Every structure is written in structure tokens, then in C-alpha cells.
Chains A and B, each alone.
Chain A
Amino acid sequence: MSAKWRTNPNTNLLVLLGLTIFLLWYFGAFNPRTLAKLPNVTAFLANAFPPDPRPTPLLLLSMLETVLIALAGTVIAVLISVPLASMSTRSLFSTPVTTFFRLLLSVIRTVPSILWALLFVITVGLGPLAGVLGTAMYSIGYLGKLLYEAFDVVDREVLDSVRMSGAGKIALMRYVVIPESANYIISQSIFMFEYNVRASTILGLVGAGGIGFYILSYVQVLDYRSLTTTLLIVLAFVVIFDLISSRLRSRFLPA
């Protein structure tokens, strides 16, 4: 009976619709006070268009800073996550060692990049450096996990045969695991960069540099036309980087 229920697409659709309506109601979407604010949306849109082109040069420079924050954060993350992922590889290191490093990566990953950036704003001060370090920290946790999962599936037979030559664990990492996973490391690093370009656009909200600063400022001064220009620039950059990233990654991933 349950299998029949699961395979009926109409029933599934009705259940999903019901669940969505329930959640919207639960979060107050049908509250009369909320509904009374609906005309605000049209007022906002009326104020947000047409976009104001005047801050474009400034915003482009700021977006470039955002991209550089993402790039620097990703490069630092790759350099640190490869050794950490290596220490988490079960085919090379004992369970206590891999468990410790996997836990460490998990803890790092639990904190989102904007929170890391906030912590670095407190420690190193306002500016893009906090953004770079915040982006790097989150990416270490995320990339580290992706990489150790790839390192784990490197053929143990290859490892065994090279181990016979007297190679130590670090040498096995250097000459077998990393070369065998090279395409995956490159592909995931590009993906991480693409992700960080998107994630870095909001770092400015906490004072960690980049275009997020202008997003926050325009919202605060109710300059919605400039906000639209900012969001269009972010959208254009993200779309361009998504396209470049998917093209590049397809070169390194097996067909």
C-alpha cells in the first residue's frame, strides 16, 4: 500500500502543496498584517527601477575586490586542505589519526564563511583581509571533505605496489594519491572558487570587504536604484564565473 502511495505522482504533488501552504501559514505569510504589506513590494519595485548607472565604475572595482577575496581564500584553502585531507585518508593513516582530522574539518565546516569573516573582523580588523581569511577557513573544511573522499578511493593496489619500494606515507601521498586525484583536486578547487565568488558578495555585510558593503549601504539609505545596479553586477559576475567554471571543470572530470 505504501509503495502504491509513493508512486502516485498526483498524491505526492498534493502532499507537497499542502506542506508548503502549511509552512507558509506557520511562518505568518497569511497573517492579515503581512498581507497588508503586499503593496510595499510594488512600491519597492517602482523605486528599484530603472537601475542607477552612476555608481557602476565603483561597483565594478568593488566586485573585482570580491573576486580577489574569493581567489585568495580559495588558494589558501587548497594549500591547507590538501595536507589536512591527506591526514584524513583511511588507506594511509590509522583510524585515530583520520578520525581526528575528519572531526577537525567537520568543525571548521560547521561555521559558515560569513561567521568566520565576522570572527576575523574582530581579530584582524575591518577590510578584505578578514574576508580572505573567513573564505579560506570555510573552504578548508568544505574542500578538505571533498578531497579526502576522493583520496579514499585511490586504488589500494597502486598504493600497495608503490609501498613495496619502501615509500613512506608522505611519499605515497605525494607520488600516488595526489597525482591520481589531480584532476579531481583541480575540478573541486575551481568549483570552490565559483562558490566563493557567490559567498564573498555578502562578506561586506560584516565589514569584511567586497561588494557586500555597498549592498548593505544602499539598503540602509533606501537607495534601491543603486541596489538594483549592484545586484545586476553581482548577477552578471556570478553567471560568467559559473559558465567559466563549468567549462574548465568539464576538462578535468571524466566524460
Chain B
Amino acid sequence: MRDVSYAYRLGKPVLHSVNLTIESGEVLMILGRSGAGKTTLLKLAAGLLKPQSGSVIYEDGRLEGKVSQSIAYVPQKIGVVENLTVLENALLGALGKLPFLTQVVGSFPKELVARAVEVCEILGLGEHIHAKARELSGGQRQRVAIARGLVQGAKLVLADEFVSQLDPLTSLEVLELTRELKKQGIGFAITTHDVHFVPKFGDKVAVIKEGRLVLHSNVSDMSVEEVLNVI
């Protein structure tokens, strides 16, 4: 993101000239108080919002209001379709790979179904692939959202308040997954309020304060106390 600024219609600017890079295979933890602009930042990075000024570039291509299949977005409320099964939710990630008619009819090629099943098994959802998403626990639903991103072939997962609705143990389990996945070259940008996850799971940390990026650093260069002082 280069010099990105954004304001919602008729509102005060939410982000001011933000410069931020998210590398593949690393976990960027984004911290900030409520209303600081973290969610807006992720939506801009996802291409779901178009910045008023500045540019959002992904692998040399400009996004700015257009989405890329290489980027997955997991919203605060997780974003799984409650009335679909785990496997169906995972397969939603493959929709962009299908021609229009096949997409509408819902005829997924065998290899995509096999890939979706494989991803579900890797993420520990193998026993639940035919269960409706609404029947799952919070942690399992997070995994479903990740599964959809992996079936999509995403190289970057943007996750908003990824573990805020989970209990501490499940939060740790879900975040452990990011460690495994980043070994495969998948990058994560995760907004969170819990600064204590930063040293354990983050490679880089960014702090947003009143719409401005006030810290962007390697986690190893900062202590938790130093990060807290910036927030």
C-alpha cells in the first residue's frame, strides 16, 4: 500500500497516507484501538474498497476496488455460509476457477472436490465435511474460512479480528495453523486487540492510531511493552 488514504462517504478520513507492505510467508499483526482503521485497512488491502488517494499493489498489479483470487479475506464475523456444509463452504473458494455456467450449476470438477477434501483434512475438519457450518464451534468455523482461502489458492490471507471471538485455547490452535501455512509461502495479515499474540505468532507488527500507521517493525525488534506504549 502506497500513501493510501480513505474516508467513508460524508465521514472523516479513516486512514491517512498509509504505507505498508505484506510479504508472502510472513505473519503481520495489525494492532490498534477500536475505530483506529484496522478493518478499513484490510478491506483496502483486499481490494474491497477503493482508496481515495494512493495505490494498493499486489504482485505488481494494482487492485484498488478489484479483488484478486490470490487474496482471501476472513471478516470479523468469520464469513462462512451457515446453511452450507463444511465441504461446500471450502468449495466456494474454487468458484473463480469455474466457467460461468458451471459456477451457476454448481458442478465442481472431481479434482477440485478432492483438493477441498484434502484441505479440510489438513485443517482438522475431515470428520465434519458434511456437517453444516452452523453446527460447528467458533474455532472450526475459522478453519472453514481458512479452508476456503486455501482452496481459492490464496497466497495472502487477510483476517479481521481473527481470534477475538474464540476462547484462549482455541485461539492458540487457530494461530498455530498460521505457522504451518506460512511454511507453504502463505502470508497473513491479522488484526487483533491482543498484543500478547504478537511475539509468539507475528513476524512483523504494525500499529494504526487514529488512521495513521505509527509503527511498522519486525517483531523481534520490539518488546510487548514497547508496542503497548505506541498503541
A interface with B by C-beta (< 8 Å): 155, 157-158, 160-168, 170-171, 174-176, 179-180, 182-183
Contact = CB atoms under 8 A, between A and B. Distances in A.
A213 to B, nearest CB: 43
Contacts of B73: 160-161, 164
Contacts of A170: 100, 103-104
A185 B73 CA distance: 28
A167 B92 contact: yes
Nearest to A178: B83
A180 B145 CA distance: 16
Given A162-B81, A165-B95, A171-B104, 14 more contacts: A155-B77, A161-B73, A161-B79, A162-B148, A164-B46, A164-B73, A165-B94, A166-B96, A167-B92, A167-B95, A170-B100, A170-B103, A175-B81, A179-B84
B77 A162 contact: no
Interface residues of B, number: 34
Nearest to B132: A179
B106 A176 contact: no
B93 interface: yes
B82 A180 contact: yes
B67 A161 contact: no
Contact of A179 (B81, B95, B96, B104): B81
B146 to A, nearest CB: 11
Given A158-B75, A161-B74, A175-B95, A168 B103 contact: yes
Nearest to B88: A175
Nearest to A179: B83
Contact residues of A: prevailing secondary structure: helix
B31 interface: no
A171 B79 CA distance: 16
B92 A160 contact: no
Given A167-B103, A174-B106, A162 B95 contact: yes
B191 interface: no
Contacts of A165: 69, 72, 92-96, 148, 152
Contacts of B43: 160
Contact residues of B: prevailing secondary structure: mixed
Nearest to B160: A157
Contacts of B97: 166
A168 to B, nearest CB: 6
Nearest to B104: A170
10 contacts: A155-B77, A161-B145, A161-B148, A163-B67, A164-B72, A171-B104, A175-B106, A179-B83, A180-B81, A183-B83
Contacts of A161: 72-75, 79, 145, 148
Contacts of A155: 77, 79
Contact of B77 (A158, A176, A182): A158
A155 B95 CA distance: 19
Interface in B58-89: 67-69, 71-77, 79-84, 88
A57 B3 CA distance: 80
Contacts of A158: 75, 77, 79-81
B48 interface: yes
Contacts of B71: 164
B84 A162 contact: no
A166 B69 CA distance: 6
Nearest to B75: A157
B153 to A, nearest CB: 9
Contact of B69 (A164, A168, A175): A164
Contacts of B67: 163-164, 166
Contacts of A167: 92, 95-96, 103
B76 A157 contact: yes
B2 to A, nearest CB: 22
Nearest to A160: B48
Contact of A168 (B76, B83, B100, B152): B100
